[in-house]
């Protein structure tokens, strides 16, 4: 009806046409609308007619209708639309041309993406492309060309892969446009070429680069050369991973053009350099080897041209500045007259700016050149802080900030042990340059230009973060600038916020004393900012004030500075914000925190103001939005050494705090428990029993294995209660204790929560409460194990629970030493009693072990024989517990037990394994001084057994050797090294494994020695014996995981050996006959697996030291290897997609093939169930890798990936697997990773 209505000849009034077209658009946007063939024709015809309507608004609506229409009509209709639009684009009427080009863009944006496999998209695109290339080639009308280039860019960026067959003609059409007389045409041609190189084949890319190189060599005119250099930079920005191999030829040409006297050309040269460095990053902090050799050259050029200012003389800067202060107005007038003749024509600033940006790119990508940067680059940048052009100065600041960020010591577990040593050199160099930085900046802090001041503060903030304390001597130079920016009326809000945040960093990173002389001038402007109407300024000012309070009166050290005069400045402004109810939440919270800090540090100077303020806190405690912050503040005030009087608010406040323990907010529960703990410790005299009981009733529900941390904090609070209010403990007997015992018997209990329970039991038994004495607690602790007359009860307890119970038993016994002989005797009887279940025996041994570690049990004569008899028990658990007991009892009395143990190891070959485990306990748990007298005997004994044929025994010997070496590394490590030349492979493998046990993730004295000699141990990666190579890889993996600093500098030497182990060795594959079947065994599989595990670990810890292309070669091989190796390399590939997407993009075609092969493998029909499961798991893992590859930006533009994606979609089995993988990854917070320590 609408079409009919629009097409009626009487329908001449444009407003009617407008409304009818609007209705049509509404209809088309509904999913429910279906058009038959006749209606389609009418609607299309009508809309195309309306595009030529005289009324502009009707035309606009008609264009909007095209979008939804594309998805509703048949393909040939879309082709009709496109044909008409293309023809109209070449029309003489400008309005029609414009509306048609908008129409074409709308149609292109609505076409279904190529990955859906729609044939329509391909056909329509081909139609448009043929017409566009024609229009661009004719060069008749520039505006037509510009529109056509625009649409072509759009199409190439969205659907480049679909136009595969046209790429060559598109290239031939675009290249001549680079010499067009119109610069706008050249610019758009460059953009289109940038989109083309993302999806074109290698041949077309080479053709393009060859053309650009040839033209650059010809250098027909400066104007075209500029364009070609811009084009190279554009390509590099879009597809940097492809240009790498051509850099060898490109860079020397661009270097040559840097020396041509043409500022614009130089600017483009530096932009090209910047795009090479930035875009060809392979991983997070490394630019690739292709550009490596050119970096020094490029840097030299940047440093030369960053000072390139031919029309300005900086020499007598100092005197000028002095004069400027006196005759500011006259200077301004002169400045204007200067500008008239020079600055309009002077574009040298563009060269300086592009050089600064290029330097920033180099700095942020080359962490390894930091020392060189501080030697050569840093002084030049500092000298350029005086740059006269504001925009250039901002970029110079930005480059220096990048340098500081690179210097920031890496805060992570990986590099914790690397902190000393190499990283200190750049920091020391920076420290020497701090005076020059401050000298160059402090005058600018008072300049009119807000942008310059913001740049200065950003740089100083970064400096204070990188080198805490470095500005201590320069505070007098900086304070006037800070005060000026805060008080200056012309300062913008952002200027004030930046100044305040710098001041905050400065206060946090320096000693309080350096600020004391300046408090008088700093405090008033900050307090004024608290009253600022803009909430962000207020919020930042409160944060600074809170820090200032700590500076004015630090509580952790004695201080002579008198804080009293400043309280009258600090208190009223903060109080006003604290009272206000109608302000931003952030301001509310910070006002509470700031006032808390004032009371905590200056509460004794507040006199009558204190109590009313505390009453406000009580109000804030009742408010859901502010309660958490208030609880934290009350904790702060309660722990203040000034003993602030909180008693007036405790009566009302304590029950409110108790009610918070019921709330569902975890952070609130934890903060409340901490607050209650402090209040009970410091204000015990003012708490009524009823108050305590109100809290006690809330505690049982908090103690549960579902949240160990909350349980731990709750039990620590109970321990405080048991010490401060022993009387109230009788009230908690039932419910709380039941929960705690349940926790002790939980398999999840360990670490902090277990220690909290141990402390609680010790405090509890000392309260001497009748129902909770030693024997009662022991009975409840061990009841589940002793009740194992009915066998089911003991089965319920996890192995971990036995250790927890044993630790609690030992803790109770150490709190009640009188009970010890009786309980030890009971345990010995339990072990001797043949009727005891193995669970009871295990508990007895573990309890004896825990007690023996801290007490001397030598009075018990029977112990040795009882333990040795248990070594022949039928139960493995009992044997292991007995071995653990012997080791720990020996720790408590080395003199008596250790010689006995060594003698037994020598004389009892059958019990050797268990005795060596006991020895391991002794070495791990004894203090080094206690062990020293026995080291020689133990060492000699261990070396007797290091060639044992049993691998299990050798591993224990190796662990003992490694842990023993830590006792006296300087003497024992060289001895271990000497054993490497030992003839037997078993001995070598033991020594290498021993080294693995000397490497820990915490810093240790042995680290420096290890770093010196780990290279010798790593040489065993080339050992002729397969097993030695395997354990060497395990040791290398451990070092890479726990302490990368040990091996980072050796990687160049070690990697070839590591990569060598990833190859399949035919000579290690043999056939074994199993009855009628032949079975293939690969003896080299374990070594290969270990090598790939090492490669994975290196990705996380030493990525910047890897040649990623070499690395990818071996990953490619692994993708075609055995099941286990493939599973590993799929995970590696997923990780690589995130860490170095560009390198993966470059190798995509080779990487996709094995993935495709895995995903489309079919298992033989008669195979066993395990084979199906194995294959299924492989496919899932491969699909995860595919999903990870698809997250790389621009990956869909790769023809290989697009083809594989459509294959996955068209195969129902693959499609459903892919969907389930995507659902899984959506529910996981982090990418899949594996721990190979």
Q: Name the residue among 422, 506, 439 with its Cα closest to residue 468.
A: 506
Helix/strand/coil (H/E/C) assignment for every residue in 467-508: CCCCCHHHHHHHHHHHHHHHHCCCCCHHHHHHHHHHHHHHHH
Paired with 1080 in beta bridges are: 1071
Q: Is the pLDDT of residue 911 over 60?
A: yes
* Res 417: pLDDT: 42
Q: Are 1035 and 1093 within 8 A, CB to CB?
A: no
* Res 281: pLDDT: 52
pLDDT tens per residue across span 66-83: 777 777 777 787 788 888
User: Considering only 10-19, 147-156, 233-242, which range has the smallest mean pLDDT?
Assistant: 10-19
Average pLDDT, the chain: 82
Please name the residue that has the structure tokens 């003199």. Answer: 895
pLDDT tens per residue across span 1079-1090: 788 888 899 999
The most distant pair of C-alpha atoms in the chain lies apart, rounded to whole Å, by 120
* Res 732: pLDDT: 67
* Arithmetic mean of pLDDT, 964-974: 84
Q: Are 1074 and 256 within 8 A, CB to CB?
A: no
Q: Are 496 and 529 within 8 A, CB to CB?
A: yes
Cα three-residue angle 499-500-503, rounded to 5 degrees? 90
- Where do the H-state alpha helices sit in 926-1067? 928-931, 935-944, 951-965, 969-978, 985-996, 1006-1018, 1026-1042, 1051-1060
* Res 1032: pLDDT: 92
In the 8-state DSSP scheme, what is residue 640? -
* Res 1237: pLDDT: 36
* Res 139: pLDDT: 59
Q: Is the pLDDT of residue 30 over 80?
A: no
* Arithmetic mean of pLDDT, 747-772: 83
* Res 345: pLDDT: 66
Helix/strand/coil (H/E/C) assignment for every residue in 517-585: HHHHHHHHHHHHHHCCCCHHHHHHHHHHHHHHHHHHCCCCCCCCCCCHHHHHHHHHHHHHHHHCCCCCH
The Cα–Cα gap between 9 and 4 comes to 10
Residues in the chain: 1237
Q: Which two tokens stand for residue 280?
A: 């060809």
* Arithmetic mean of pLDDT, 364-381: 88
Q: Are 719 and 761 within 8 A, CB to CB?
A: no
> CA–CA distance from 416 to each of 412, 1003, 1107 (Å)?
6, 8, 24
Helix axes 493-509, 475-487, angle to 10 degrees: 150
Q: Is the pLDDT of residue 285 over 50?
A: no
Residue 1020: how many other CB atoms lie within 10 Å: 23
Q: Which two tokens stand for residue 383?
A: 């000298």
Please name the residue that has the structure tokens 């009427």. Answer: 93
pTM: 0.78
Paired with 366 in beta bridges are: 286
Paired with 172 in beta bridges are: none
Q: Is the pLDDT of residue 356 over 90?
A: yes
In the 8-state DSSP scheme, what is residue 376? I
pLDDT interval class at 140 (50, 70, 90) = low
CB within 8 Å of 478: residues ≥ 6 apart: 438, 442, 445, 460, 471, 506
pLDDT tens per residue across span 790-825: 444 444 678 888 888 889 988 888 888 888 888 888
The Cα–Cα gap between 536 and 542 comes to 10
> CA–CA distance from 896 to each of 889, 893, 899, 902 (Å)?
10, 6, 7, 11
The Cα–Cα gap between 151 and 132 comes to 8
Percentage of residues in the chain having pLDDT higher than 70: 90
* Res 1226: pLDDT: 66
pLDDT tens per residue across span 173-227: 888 888 888 889 899 999 999 888 888 877 888 899 999 989 888 887 888 899 9
* Arithmetic mean of pLDDT, 374-379: 92
Q: Is the pLDDT of residue 584 over 70?
A: yes
pLDDT tens per residue across span 1106-1158: 888 888 899 989 988 888 899 999 999 999 988 888 788 878 888 888 888 88
* Res 354: pLDDT: 94
Cα three-residue angle 82-84-87, rounded to 5 degrees? 105
pLDDT interval class at 145 (50, 70, 90) = confident
pLDDT interval class at 545 (50, 70, 90) = very high
30 Rama sector, left if φ>0, alpha if ψ -120 to 50, beta otherwise: beta
Long-range CB contacts for residues 678-685, cutoff 8 Å, separation at least 24: 678/635, 678/638, 678/639, 679/634, 679/638, 679/646, 679/650, 679/654, 680/717, 680/720, 680/721, 680/724, 680/725, 681/720, 681/724, 682/638, 682/639, 682/643, 683/638, 683/646, 683/647, 683/650, 684/724, 684/725
* Arithmetic mean of pLDDT, 566-574: 88
pLDDT tens per residue across span 612-642: 998 999 999 999 999 999 999 999 999 999 8
The Cα–Cα gap between 1029 and 1060 comes to 11
pLDDT interval class at 324 (50, 70, 90) = very low
> CA–CA distance from 249 to each of 120, 203, 245, 255 (Å)?
42, 17, 9, 11
> CA–CA distance from 1039 to each of 410, 543, 891, 923, 1044 (Å)?
18, 43, 29, 22, 6
* Arithmetic mean of pLDDT, 771-793: 71
**Helix, strand, coil shares, percent, the chain, to 5:** 75, 0, 20
Q: Is the pLDDT of residue 319 over 50?
A: no
* Res 791: pLDDT: 46
Q: Are 783 and 805 within 8 A, CB to CB?
A: no
DSSP H or E run through 1108: helix 1108-1118
Q: Name the residue among 434, 436, 359 with its Cα closest to residue 398.
A: 359
Q: Which two tokens stand for residue 1150?
A: 């080779």
Helix/strand/coil (H/E/C) assignment for every residue in 119-170: HHHHHHHHHHHHHHHHHHHHCCCHHHHHHHHHHHHHHHHHHHHHHHHHHHHH
The Cα–Cα gap between 7 and 41 comes to 13
Percentage of residues in the chain having pLDDT higher than 90: 20
DSSP H or E run through 1082: strand 1077-1082
The Cα–Cα gap between 1118 and 1120 comes to 5
117 Rama sector, left if φ>0, alpha if ψ -120 to 50, beta otherwise: left
> CA–CA distance from 477 to each of 436, 437, 460 (Å)?
12, 12, 13
């Amino acid at each position: 009806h609408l079409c009919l209505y629009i097409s009626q000849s009487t329908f001449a009034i444009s407003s009617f046409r407008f409304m009818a077209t609007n209705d049509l658009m509404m209809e088309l946007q509904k999913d429910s609308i279906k058009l038959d063939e006749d209606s389609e024709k009418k609607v299309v015809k009508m809309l195309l007619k309306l595009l030529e309507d005289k009324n502009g608004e009707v035309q606009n609506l008609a264009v909007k209708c095209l979008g939804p229409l594309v998805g509703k009509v048949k393909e040939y209709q879309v082709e009709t639309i496109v044909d008409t639009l293309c023809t109209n684009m070449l029309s003489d009427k400008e309005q029609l041309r414009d509306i048609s080009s908008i129409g074409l863009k709308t149609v292109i944006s609505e076409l279904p993406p190529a990955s859906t496999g729609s044939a329509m998209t391909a056909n329509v695109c081909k139609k448009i492309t043929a017409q566009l290339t024609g229009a661009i080639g004719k060069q008749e009308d520039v505006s037509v060309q510009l529109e056509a280039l625009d649409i072509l860019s759009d199409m190439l960026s969205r659907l480049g892969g679909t136009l595969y067959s046209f790429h060559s003609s598109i290239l031939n059409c675009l290249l001549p446009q680079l010499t067009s007389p119109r610069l706008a045409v050249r610019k758009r041609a460059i953009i289109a070429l940038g989109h083309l190189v993302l999806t074109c084949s290698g041949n077309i890319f080479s053709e393009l680069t060859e053309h650009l190189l040839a033209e650059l060599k010809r250098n027909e005119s400066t104007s075209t050369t500029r364009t070609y250099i811009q084009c190279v930079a554009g390509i590099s920005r879009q597809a940097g991973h492809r240009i790498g191999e051509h850099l060898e030829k490109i860079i020397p040409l661009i270097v040559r053009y840097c020396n041509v006297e043409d500022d614009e050309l130089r600017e483009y040269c530096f932009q090209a350099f910047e795009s090479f460095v930035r875009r060809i990053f392979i991983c997070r902090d490394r630019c690739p080897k292709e550009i490596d050799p050119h970096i020094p050259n490029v840097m030299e050029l940047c440093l030369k041209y960053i000072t390139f200012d031919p029309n300005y003389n900086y020499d007598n800067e100092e005197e000028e500045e002095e004069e400027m202060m006196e005759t500011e107005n006259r200077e301004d007038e002169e400045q204007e007259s200067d500008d008239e003749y020079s600055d309009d024509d002077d574009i040298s600033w563009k060269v300086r700016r592009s050089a600064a940006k290029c330097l920033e790119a180099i700095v942020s990508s080359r962490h390894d050149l930091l020392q060189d940067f501080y030697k050569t680059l840093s002084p030049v940048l500092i000298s350029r802080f005086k740059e006269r052009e504001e925009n250039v100065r901002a970029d110079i600041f930005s480059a220096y900030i990048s340098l500081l960020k690179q210097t920031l010591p890496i805060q992570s577990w990986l590099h914790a042990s690397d902190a000393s040593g190499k990283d200190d050199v750049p920091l020391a160099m920076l420290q020497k340059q701090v005076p020059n930085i401050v000298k160059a900046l402090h005058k600018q802090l008072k300049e009119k230009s807000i942008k310059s001041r913001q740049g200065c503060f950003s740089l100083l903030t970064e400096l204070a973060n990188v080198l805490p304390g470095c500005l201590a001597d320069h505070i007098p130079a900086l304070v006037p600038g800070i005060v000026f920016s805060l008080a200056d009326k012309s300062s913008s809000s952002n200027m004030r916020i930046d100044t305040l945040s710098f001041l905050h960093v400065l206060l946090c990173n320096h000693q309080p004393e350096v600020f004391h002389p300046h408090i008088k001038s700093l405090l008033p402007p900050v307090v004024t900012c608290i009253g600022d109407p803009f909430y962000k300024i207020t919020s930042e000012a409160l944060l600074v004030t809170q820090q200032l309070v700590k500076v004015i009166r630090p509580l952790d050290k004695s201080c002579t500075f008198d804080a009293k005069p400043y309280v009258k400045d600090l208190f009223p402004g903060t109080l006003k914000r604290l009272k206000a109810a109608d302000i931003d939440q952030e301001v509310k919270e910070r006002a509470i925190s700031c006032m808390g800090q004032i009371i905590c540090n200056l509460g004794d100077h507040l006199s009558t103001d204190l109590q009313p303020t505390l009453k406000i806190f009580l109000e804030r405690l009742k408010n859901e939005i502010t309660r958490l912050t208030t609880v934290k503040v009350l904790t702060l005030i309660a722990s203040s050494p000034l003993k602030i009087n909180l008693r007036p608010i405790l009566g009302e406040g304590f029950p409110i705090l108790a009610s918070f323990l019921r709330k569902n907010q975890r952070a609130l529960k934890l903060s409340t428990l901490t607050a209650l703990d402090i209040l009970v410790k410091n204000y015990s005299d003012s708490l009524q029993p009823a108050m305590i009981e109100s809290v006690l009733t809330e505690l049982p529900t908090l103690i549960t294995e579902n949240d160990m941390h909350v349980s731990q904090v709750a039990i620590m609070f109970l321990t405080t209660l048991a010490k401060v209010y022993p009387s109230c403990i009788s009230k908690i007997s039932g419910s709380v204790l039941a929960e705690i015992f349940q926790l002790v018997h939980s398999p999840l209990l360990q670490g902090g929560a277990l220690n909290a329970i141990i402390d609680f039991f010790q405090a509890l038994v000392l309260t001497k409460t009748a129902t909770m004495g030693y024997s009662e607690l022991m009975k409840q602790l061990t009841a589940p194990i002793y009740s194992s007359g009915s066998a089911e009860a003991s089965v319920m307890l996890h192995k971990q629970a036995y250790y927890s119970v044993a630790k609690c038993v030992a803790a109770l016994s150490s709190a009640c030493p009188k009970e010890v002989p009786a309980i030890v005797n009971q345990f010995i009887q339990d072990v001797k009693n043949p009727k005891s279940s193995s669970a009871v025996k295990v508990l007895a041994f573990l309890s004896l072990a825990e007690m023996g570690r801290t007490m001397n049990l030598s009075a018990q004569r029977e112990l040795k024989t009882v333990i040795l008899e248990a070594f022949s028990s039928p139960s493995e658990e009992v044997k292991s517990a007995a071995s653990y007991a012997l080791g720990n009892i020996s720790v408590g009395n080395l003199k008596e037990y250790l010689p006995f143990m060594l003698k037994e190891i020598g004389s009892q070959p059958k019990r050797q394994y268990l005795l060596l485990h006991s020895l391991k306990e002794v070495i791990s748990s004894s203090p080094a001084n206690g062990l020293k007298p026995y080291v020689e005997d133990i060492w000699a004994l261990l070396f007797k057994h290091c060639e044992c044929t049993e691998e299990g025994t050798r591993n224990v010997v190796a662990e003992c050797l490694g842990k023993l070496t830590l006792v006296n590394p300087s003497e024992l490590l060289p001895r271990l090294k000497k054993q490497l030349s030992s003839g037997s492979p078993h001995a070598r493998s033991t020594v290498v494994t021993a080294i693995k046990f000397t490497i820990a993730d915490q810093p240790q004295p042995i680290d420096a020695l290890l770093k010196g000699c780990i290279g010798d141990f790593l040489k065993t990666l080339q050992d002729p014996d397969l097993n030695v190579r395997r354990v060497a890889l395990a040791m290398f993996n451990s070092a890479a995981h726990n302490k990368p600093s040990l091996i980072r500098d050796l990687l160049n030497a070690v990697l070839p050996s590591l990569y060598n182990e990833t190859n399949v060795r035919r000579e290690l594959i043999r056939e074994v006959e199993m009855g009628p079947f032949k079975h293939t065994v690969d003896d080299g599989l374990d070594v290969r697996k270990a090598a790939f595990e090492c490669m994975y670990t290196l990705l996380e810890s030493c990525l910047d030291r890897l040649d990623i292309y070499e690395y990818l070669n071996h990953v490619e091989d692994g993708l075609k290897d055995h099941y286990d190796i493939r599973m590993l390399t799929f995970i590696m590939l997923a990780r690589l997609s995130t860490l170095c997407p560009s390198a993966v993009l470059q190798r995509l075609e080779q990487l996709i093939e094995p993935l495709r092969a895995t995903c489309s493998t079919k298992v033989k029909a008669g195979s066993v169930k395990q084979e199906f499961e194995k294959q299924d798991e492989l496919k899932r893992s491969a699909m995860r890798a595919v999903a990870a590859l698809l997250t790389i930006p621009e990956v869909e533009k790769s023809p290989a990936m697009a083809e594989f994606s459509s294959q996955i979609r068209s195969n129902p089995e693959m499609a459903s697997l892919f969907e389930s993988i995507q659902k899984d990854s959506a529910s996981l917070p982090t990418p899949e990773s594996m721990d190979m320590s």
